[in-house]
Amino acid sequence: MGGFAVNSALVIFGLFLGSLQGFFPVASSFEFKHHDNRELLQVLETVHQTCPNITRIYTLSETSVMGVPLYVIEFATQPGQHEALRPEFKYIANMHGNEVLGRELLLKLADYLCEQYRANDPEIRSLISKTRIHLLPSMNPDGWKLSTDQGGQDYLLGRSNANSVDLNRDFPDLDRIIFGNEVLHINHNNHLMDQLTQLDHPVQPETLAVMRLIMSIPFALSANMHGGDLVANYPYDASRSGASSEYTETPDDETFRYLSLSYSLPHPTMASPKRRACELNDGENFGKTQGIVNGAKWYSVRGGMQDFNYLSSNDFEITLELGCKKYPPQQELQGEWNANKASLINFMWQVHTGVKGIVRDSIAGKPISNALIHVKNITQINSTHAVSQHINHDVTSVFDGDYFRLLTPGQYLLTASYSGYKPQTRRVKVQNPRHHEATRLDFWLEPVDSSGPEFVPLPSSVEAEVSPKSNGYFRDDNPLTNDFSQIHGYGNENQEANQENLTPPSKDWLVKFMYQQIANM
């Protein structure tokens, strides 16, 4: 009996200590330093061991040229699976191996998210409960090692991968396709991989791995991290005319500017007009443009990851140039974290801007994936005039019929359409309140039995309600909601993947296509 009483007392004391977790800071063992490729994984494993219920570590389908795995850490309340109406977000860093700050920022960000979740920080807990977050600290570990082994001070050494290929020029050139469609008045403005008939080069394994990631997970927002300047760069990266410098707007130019400002404005110096340019002789001071720039206006890039995301998927991606120094000394890393922390968190919240909802069959109630969502801006300018502009970049619904359409505040008409069904158009007002989920707008499509779109205005309140059920309405046991990334995951063993009946292009389709193209070269 005495032993039982002691054990019971210890259990009660342990529960008491656990209940105090939110009242005291949670200590972190994170060290600000340049972590090598082995230490990078150790940091991620420490985070996962500390927060096992909200994290998962997985590797991408391909290793680097030198065989180094490309590790991703995921944060979600149900790691390993897409949940309806919870948007997917990603950060990718160290694409250029000698641009290392983003790598260290993402390692610290992973540590911070876990630390603050355990400390019951309301903002971080809310963000993780509403979002599935993916962090890839190093896309180019081989370039990082080469740069580091040579002292990290060479402006170009280590930029490329081990095959001397610049990974940010290695993606399929979908800009060429979209600009050609515009010239020929072809009404195909999204998911352009099906128009890609040939490649002009074999893509690198790191590029292929990220392409498979993009094709497997329905990201709504992302950023890739670079160094050498201090600016948020937004699409298009390639110019329409082929000029080396030319402002080349996307149909979502207003939204991309909005997203870029969400990173630059919280940063202490990125948007400051008083700061000095990175290159004193001929560098442009982007602080005078609020810390943002159109990519093609700065300089035109073909085969970049940013435009590939936008034109191959539903993902809106920007590029973050994090500072003048590509390889800052270790003693500056903590200061850089402090400068970027608010921006990193604020940008992740932008995945909840705009509109989201579920597209369903109005008879059977089943979700419809791959439905097309088209947007027209009808924002009122004044008492007599309103915008009337189609945004010619459509997104599609995904596995549970859920869709995510990033938009700036205003009034819009959204039209959902799918083959065999009558299109449906609904009016919505977007307000984007801070740290709230996107406005909810569902569609119920009827089988075709008459011509013409159906217009269904919202009830008295134009802001659709958000269901308290995180998984949406009429949730069934359809396996489409299980893990569809299937990318060598580990660390959340009770989450089993299920790849059955997936309608979007699979990674196997992509690999087969790529290898066919390479074989035909």
Q: Which amino acid, 44?
A: L
CB 360 within 8 A of CB 416: no
CB 233 within 8 A of CB 298: yes
CB 247 within 8 A of CB 297: yes
Residues contacting residue 502 through CB under 8 Å, at least 6 positions apart: 399, 480, 484
β-partners of residue 217 are none
- Taking the C-alpha atoms of residue 279 and residue 294, their distance in angstroms, rounded to an integer, is 19
Tokens of 412: 């819009």
Closest CA to 96 of 49, 143, 155: 143
Cα dihedral angle (115, 117, 123, 127), rounded to 10 degrees? Answer: 110
Helical spans, DSSP H, in 20-78: 37-50
Catalytic residue among 104, 206, 317, 321: 321
- Taking the C-alpha atoms of residue 53 and residue 252, their distance in angstroms, rounded to an integer, is 37
Is 493 part of the annotated catalytic residue set? no
Cα dihedral angle (229, 230, 236, 237), rounded to 10 degrees? Answer: 10
- Taking the C-alpha atoms of residue 193 and residue 70, their distance in angstroms, rounded to an integer, is 24
- Taking the C-alpha atoms of residue 361 and residue 417, their distance in angstroms, rounded to an integer, is 11
How far, in whole angstroms, is CA 347 from its chain's centroid? 10
Residues with a known catalytic role: 321
